Amino acid sequence: MSSDKFLRGAMILTLAGLMVKVIGSVNRILLSRLLGGEGIGLYQMAYPVYLLLLAISAAGIPVAISIIVAGFLAQKDYANVRQVFRVSLRLMACVGAVLAVCLVLAAGWLVDAGVITDVRAYYSLIALTPAIFFATILASFRGYFQGHQLMTPPAVSQIVEQFIRVVTMVVLAYVLLPYGLEYAAAGAAFGAVPGSLTGLVVMGCFYRYYRKQWQVEHVPAAELVRSRVLIKRLLLLALPVSCANILVPVTSSIDVLLVPGRLIDSGLSVEQATAQFGYLAGMAQPLLLMATIPTMSLATSLVPAVSEAFALNKWQIIGQKAATAMKLCCLITVPASVGMWVLAEPISCLLYGTAKAGVAIMHSAPAICLLGLQQVTTGMLQGMGHTNLPMLNMLIGIAAKLVAVLQLTNVEYGIAGAAWATNINFGVTALLNIIALYKFSIRFSWLSIAKIIAAAAMMGAVAVEAHVLLGGASPALATIAAMLAAGISYIILLPLLGVLNRQELRQLPVVKRFFK
């Protein structure tokens, strides 16, 4: 039953993540048409500042709260579960308020100092300040529900938050556009405020509903943990996660700062280097992030599940959950990597109307599997309370990427070398995470993973043959048909190779009803 809850939570978060991405894609299209490049530029100057403050204040808190709550729940210490929520809510309200005030005070300085190069972006910065307060509090609610392994409330709140945010952005941008582009961009930025506030209201409603059930479980604690002790533990768990999230834009900035220059040094013109970089950062990498939504959801769901078993010192259950998560990660990401590799150019034509991004897409394909492994192994370590290890391993991965970009982005490899630098980054981090897990006696079934790789390789051959056979038809239809043929062959090969058995299929949500 515990395994069902863990996998069901991952599935719910995956569906929510995909819906949020779809809504966000629609938003980018509409907003680009309304504001044009200049207006979007003003919005994009302010929004990264908001994301940075959120990474500092709220990125690590849901993980930290879910770890502590799951531990107390495992011990049936319901009074301290509520104590965690009360303390974290007060803490995050204070942090959110302080950061919001700091942004208001710092907005003028950011413009005057030239950090924000266009003075018109000041209005967008100010418009975003209330959202920091609401989003920071919202992180407490999400972590609390994740600790209970209830993923539906956070998933619903994410979808509603994104929908309200997008509607508000588009409406305000349209209404304010006649008054000036800076006000339209500020209106778009303000969309984050009603979005986060609505998400908070949704979580509040879920909390009122579930609180009635939790009150039945009321058992006085032997001793309530002091607020100061809880705050210290929350910060010790959350800070490494927040630092790791801050490192994500640092990793991206390596590409921005170094790759175009390295391409120019290899003999390309400025225009050619910019185009090649666009194929990598603007076309290949978004596909990578979309493909790893399921593994990110799996990692999020894994944290409280592992934390619960860790609190009870049940290492066998931790090992089982880790093995299940690793196998599921490979089942999803290995075929995605193979499919993106063998159909890179057709996918580029289908999605972007050009074959020129094919090289960047093909050489970015391994990153799907490697990033998935990094995410899932990070979730395992965080669930055991070792939130600092993934951050340290990520730092080493970034250093490896820096060296790889300088060495591989050259005349011989070009943009493919830059793509492999990203692969090395994720691969090194994932490998270090796996080594750390081995030190904690967590083992994986490498034979099953080898069978998955074999099934994916045969699937890739089917995809190539199908695309060649249908090449005389419409290119778009040939690509879609090849992907369908690949998917069907992969599903057939898994049981034939003994990758999945009936018992494992019974654990999967939705699928299990067909294998009673």
pLDDT score of 166 more than 50: yes
With tokens 């991965």, the residue in question is 397
For residue 120, the model assigns a pLDDT of 84
pLDDT band of 501, cuts 50, 70, 90: low
Helices (H), 414-501: 415-439, 446-469, 475-496
With tokens 């819906």, the residue in question is 19
More confident of the two residues 219 and 95: 95
| pLDDT, the chain, mean | 86
Average confidence (pLDDT) over 24-52: 79
- Share above pLDDT 70 across residues of the chain, in percent, rounded to a whole number: 94
Question: Could you tell me the CA-to-CA distances from 271 to 4, 38, 264, 275 in Å, in that order?
Answer: 52, 20, 9, 6
The tally of CA atoms less than 13 A away on the side-chain side of residue 260 is 15
For residue 272, the model assigns a pLDDT of 84
Cβ neighbours of residue 390 closer than 8 Å, sequence gap 6 or more? 240, 241, 244, 377, 378, 381, 382, 429, 433
Query: What secondary structure letter does DSSP report for 222?
Result: S
pLDDT score of 2 more than 70: no
Q: Which two tokens stand for residue 75?
A: 């011990």
* 163 within 8 A of 101, measured Cβ to Cβ: no
CB neighbours (10 Å) of residue 209?
10
pLDDT in tens, 313-361: 888 888 888 888 999 999 999 999 999 999 999 999 988 888 888 999 9
Among 251, 280, 282, 291, residue whose Cα is nearest residue 21: 291
pLDDT score of 504 more than 90: no
Average confidence (pLDDT) over 47-65: 82
Residue 447 region, left (φ>0) first, then alpha (ψ -120 to 50), else beta? Answer: alpha
Question: Could you tell me the CA-to-CA distances from 452 to 298, 319, 374, 462, 484 in Å, in that order?
Answer: 18, 20, 18, 15, 18
Amino acid identity of 267?
G
pLDDT band of 1, cuts 50, 70, 90: very low
- Of 85-89, 306-310, 503-507, give the lowest mean pLDDT range: 503-507
- Share above pLDDT 90 across residues of the chain, in percent, rounded to a whole number: 36
Q: How far apart are CA 164 and CA 196, in angstroms?
A: 9
For residue 370, the model assigns a pLDDT of 95
Maximum separation of any 2 CA atoms in the chain, in Å? 74
